[in-house]
Structure 1
Amino acid sequence: MKKLKLGLPKGSLQDATIKIFERAGFKIVVRSRSYFPSIDDAEIEPVLLRAQEMSRYVEDRTLDCGITGADWVLENGSKVKSLAELQYSKQTENKVRWVLAVPESSKIKSVKDLAGKKIATEVVGITRKYLKQHKVQADVEFSWGATEAKVTSGLVDAIVELTETGSSLRANKLRIVETLCESNTQFIANKEACADEWKRSKMEQIIMLLHGALAASNMVGLKMNILEKNFEKVRSLLPSLKEPTVSHLSDP
């Protein structure tokens, strides 16, 4: 049997991703300490990986496809194809942002003020590229975590951190100076998988179901009884994904 090797993001996107798949009709079971979930589709072989690493494994064909953030494709410089944008993140359906943040009391007002300063971040490549674009030389160091604490304690002058709502930054009395980039969740694949007719068809089927699940979260089904003479007037007032289903009833 042919198999599609699909990477699912482990970590902050994991729960949201599995819920989307469940709404799309897939049942995924993640067992404790296992990186190989079960799925009720024998043609899919899922693997749990950090979103930060996903694009590298898709590019080198260890995986056929995967779900990750556009930011990590950019950070890794991976040559993969984005087959679809999936509008969801950890907490909301909005895009996330990588932002330059400093303490509220900091004198840093723009990227130009970072010359000679120390910056901590998980996206070293994106940060260095942004600084280069603005002709600013600064010391950029990789942060393994607790990035916000490093700037509030004075270990670094600024951070580049991921934010979805900004609430965590505000709670730590940090101020956003600039946005380096926005990111959303994407379904990526390597060119070999895209060239394989069966794999391409399977990926398109999964994407169609995921898009349907995401679209349905913003829609409701509406049933009503109306007089036939009012049908056209009512239809003109109500938005619809497709033409409404009409069942004619006998007049009382």
Structure 2
Amino acid sequence: MTLKFGVPNKGRLNERAVELLTKAGLDLGEDFGRKLYIKARNQDVEVLFLRAQDIPEFIAAGAIDMGITGQDQVAEAGSDLVNRLELKFGYCHMAVAVPEASGITDASQIEDGARIATSYPNITKRYFDSIGKHVNVIVVTGAAEVMPYLGIADYIVDLVSTGSTLKMNRMVEAGNIIESQACVFTSEAALAKYGNEIDEIAESIASVITAESKKYLMANVPRDKIEDAERIIPGLEGPTILEIAGNPGYAAIHAVIDTKDAFHTISELKRIGAKGILTTGIERLVN
């Protein structure tokens, strides 16, 4: 049986999701961007390009076995899914936003009967119910920020990343409903059927994400400075120390370091007399 993997077909999650899958080892070929579904060349996995908002319901219904989508979409669908892996992209939060001129600073100040425009009616209703407010939810498919200006709604509930769109439309946040990022989701039923395969894919993707924040460092260090080098670059479980043919005064040290530490690490190694310092990217890192 072929495992079915849903991926957003467009929008803010599509490009990065495809990048992670291909780096993790799923060969989607050269023309995947023009197909709605494609069989991975090297695994018994079929990748389907779907609307991000449909992926939670398709997983819950058993139409697909796993998929990448935002936590906001799963919350809106109300599906009981398993969050197998957080992907560390697509960060945003869902907020209640009001016109600057309203003077409202907190969602609790919103009056009963207010009109709320949103693409997330289920989350919106649950939120206002939870704070004891009875509002009229107006479902829109996009550009919620313009609805108060058009007189269609009084306030909105929408995803916010940088806040620049709200600012452009003279709106401010009055409440944070949920935080969201892209994740790999599956179901208990799919795990019972494809547990090993799902784990393998999730762990492969995780190894790509881990590797992206690391560098592989190599340097030739004077032998009498090896202890200093070990302090500077402890590595994952200590650096690897190798002999250098024909150069007994130096040893080669290899280690994995955090990318954010690369500048300082290289400077410290130069200070103790290291030569031939090289850093390179890592494609995958499995701990």
Residues 25 and 243 from structure 1, CA distance in 2 versus in 1: closer, same or farther, beyond 3 angstroms?
farther
Which structure ranks higher in relative contact order (CA pairs < 8 Å, sequence separation ≥ 6)? 1
Letter in 1 for 2:186: A
Q: CA deviation at 1:181?
A: 0.6
Give the 5 Å matches for 1:128-167.
128-167=125-164
Cα root mean square deviation, aligned: 1.8
Q: Could you say which residue in structure 1 is the equivalent of 2:25? A: 25
Structure 2: which 5+ residue stretches go unaligned?
250-287
1:15 aligns with 2:15: yes
Give the 3-state SS of the residue equivalent to 2:215 in structure 1: coil
- 2:242 aligned residue: 247
Structure-2 residue corresponding to 1:45: 46
CA distance in 1, matches of 2:56, 2:173: 28
Aligned 8 A contact 1:30 1:38 in 2: no
Aligned to 1:124, which of 121, 124, 128?
A: 121
Identity between Structure 1 and Structure 2 (%): 26
Distance 1:47 1:195 in 2: 21
In the alignment, which residue of structure 2 is the partner of 1:172?
169
What TM-score do you get using the length of structure 2 for normalisation? 0.79
Structure 1 runs of 4+ aligned residues shifted over 6 Å read none
**Aligned-partner Cα distance in 1 for 2:167–2:229:** 46
**Where does the alignment leave 5 or more consecutive residues of structure 1 unmatched?**
90-94
Which SS does the other structure have where 1:233 is aligned?
Answer: helix
Task: Tell me the equivalent position of 1:228.
Answer: 223
Q: 1:147 to 1:202 in 2, by over 3 A?
A: same
CA distance in 1, matches of 2:109, 2:129: 14
Are residues 242 and 171 of structure 1, via their aligned partners in 2, closer, same or farther at CA, if it must alter by over 3 Å?
farther
1:175-220 per-residue CA deviation (whole Å, 9 max, x = no partner) reads 1111111012121112222112xx2111111111111111122222
Bigger proportion of residues as strand:
2
Partner of 1:92: none
CA distance in 1, matches of 2:107, 2:191: 40
The residue that corresponds to 2:233 in the other structure is: 238
Q: CA deviation at 1:38?
A: 4.7
CA distance in 2, matches of 1:158, 1:241: 50
Structure 1 residues 206 and 242 mapped into 2: Cα distance closer, same or farther (>3 Å)? farther
Larger Rg, first or second structure (1 or 2): 2
Compared with structure 1, are the counterparts of its residues 27 and 77 closer, same or farther at alpha carbon in structure 2 (3 Å cutoff)? same
For residues 121-163 of structure 1, give each alpha carbon's deviation from its aligned partner in whole angstroms, at most 9, with x where no partner exists.
Answer: 1111111111111111111111111211112333211111112
- Of 165-174 and 129-138, more deviation after overlay is shown by 165-174
Once the two structures are superposed, the pairs formed by residues 188-227 of structure 1 within 5 Å of their partners are: 188-196=185-193, 199-227=194-222
The question of whether the paired residues in 1 share the 8 Å contact of 2:94 and 2:159 is answered with yes
Residue type of the alignment partner of 2:68? I
Give the Cα separation in 1 of the matches to 2:109 and 2:47.
45
Count of residue pairs brought into register by the alignment: 243
Distance in 2 of aligned mates of 1:239 and 1:161 = 45
Question: What corresponds to 2:270 in structure 1?
Answer: none
What SS class does the counterpart of residue 199 from structure 2 fall into? helix
Shift of 1:55: 1.1
Look up the equivalent residue of 1:209 and give its one-letter code. Answer: S
TM-score, normalised with respect to structure 1: 0.89
Aligned residue for 2:242, secondary structure, equals: coil
